[in-house]
Amino acid sequence: MLFFSSSLYISMYCLLPDFKLSNAYNFNLTCTKAASIISSRSMDFPSTLFVPSRTMGTYEPIHQIGLWGENFKSIGSPNISPSVIFDVANKLENESETTSHELLAPSSKYDQEASKPFDKIQRRLAQNREAARKSRLRKKAYVQQLENSRLKLIQLEQELERARQQCLYAGGAIEVGHLGISGALNSGITAFEMEYERWMEEQNKQICDLRSALNAQISDIELHILVESGMSHYLELFRMKSSVAKADVFYVMSGTWKTSAERFFSWIGGFRPSELLKVLVPQIDPLTDHQILEVCNLKQSCQQAEDALSQGMEKLRETVSATLASGQMGQGTYLPQVAMAMEKLEALVNFVNQADHLRKETLQQMSYILTTRQAARGLLALGEYIQRLQALSTVWANRPHGPAKLTVENVR
């Protein structure tokens, strides 16, 4: 086993006529690396010849080193005069762009003794260099292939987008719904989704504020400010929904921006107000008798309005279906039917707006019936209920196959 300290080599390297201090660091590194590499190889020859690597930036003519052999034990001796030049093994070479090294030219002094093992090591070096070169070429080819595929993908995406636009405007296979939409609709939805993300962040912050405020027993005046922010925050959501409904009413109907459990309870693009009342009223206890009566009436009127809208929606579905199915089928021509159905479908925007109007009104009426403190508790309960639905969606999505197990890892 060869033992040598890298610091020793640096000091030895200093003996070279063209010694550069800047190379010393690299040299040190390569020494250490080379040491581990060389020591792991079978040592069938005592001498080791070293060539400076190009990474070290040295291009000096190679200096032959003396044989180590028996001199091995005297490695610690400061009297060793010959400089040491390292051969950086192929493992180090792979990171460089070098293609060829200056071959070691055995000095005449060592000819007879060093030539045989020298040839062997030369062959090995050449093989390693060749392998490294091939590896680099393979890598280059692979990267080239990746680049080409990437370009192809971009081209295909552009073609697809163009084809979609053509379909939409030429009236061929008309795709309605947010999967096959034009750029204008897309940007409306993208804008909404970004806004909603921010809205949700603000919502969660407000819930935290409400929670701490109610626990801290702050004054009614301060609580009123929080309640007002909460109310206007919901009004902001309705404004956002109204805007995106104009761009794509089906997007609002599908509730795509919501989590799966929220969508499960979806009624014309949002929650059913009467359902929410059922959830929240027990949280706002205690209520005065008068309040109980008013809330009861509100719940009933809400349900009646919901029923009326639901039946109106059912009528709309029947109308669109009947219009679309009118005339003969089987000929593959349907543009007149589709055009007529489009007209009918425009009423859907009105229904979505009406449903949101109902939600707004319910919220408004509750704020009239309740005290500030009760309203705060109501808003907090509403926020937490939605958070629970969102948590349910996450846990459901991550459930293991088999019986659902609620573990710490599942719940975020």
Partner 1 sequence: MDKVMRLASERGVVLFSKSSCCLCYAVKILFQELGVTPTIHEIDQDPEGREMERALMRLGCNTPVPAVFIEGKLVGSTNEVMSLHLGGGLIPLVKPYQTLC
The residues binding partner 1 (CB under 8 A) are 294, 297-298, 301-302, 304-305, 307-309, 311-313, 315-316, 319, 344, 347, 350-351, 354, 357-358, 361-362, 365
171 φ/ψ angles, rounded to the nearest 5 degrees? 75, 25
CB-wise, 148 or 300, nearer to partner 1? Answer: 300
CB-wise, 94 or 303, nearer to partner 1? Answer: 303
Give CA separation, 70 vs 19, 75, 132, 302, in Å.
28, 10, 34, 101
Cα separation, 138 vs 118, in Å, equals 30
CB-wise, 211 or 357, nearer to partner 1? Answer: 357
Cα separation, 48 vs 9, in Å, equals 14
How far apart are CB 227 and partner 1 at their closest, in Å?
Answer: 19
CB-wise, 185 or 352, nearer to partner 1? Answer: 352
User: Residue 382's closest CA among 203, 258, 217, 225?
Assistant: 203
How far apart are CB 274 and partner 1 at their closest, in Å?
Answer: 11
How far apart are CB 393 and partner 1 at their closest, in Å?
Answer: 30
CB-wise, 206 or 301, nearer to partner 1? Answer: 301
How far apart are CB 321 and partner 1 at their closest, in Å?
Answer: 12
How far apart are CB 178 and partner 1 at their closest, in Å?
Answer: 23
Q: Are residues 295 and 287 in contact, defined by beta-carbon separation less than 8 angstroms?
A: yes
Longest dimension (CA), the chain: 115
CB-wise, 59 or 368, nearer to partner 1? Answer: 368
How far apart are CB 363 and partner 1 at their closest, in Å?
Answer: 10
CB-wise, 38 or 309, nearer to partner 1? Answer: 309
How far apart are CB 271 and partner 1 at their closest, in Å?
Answer: 15
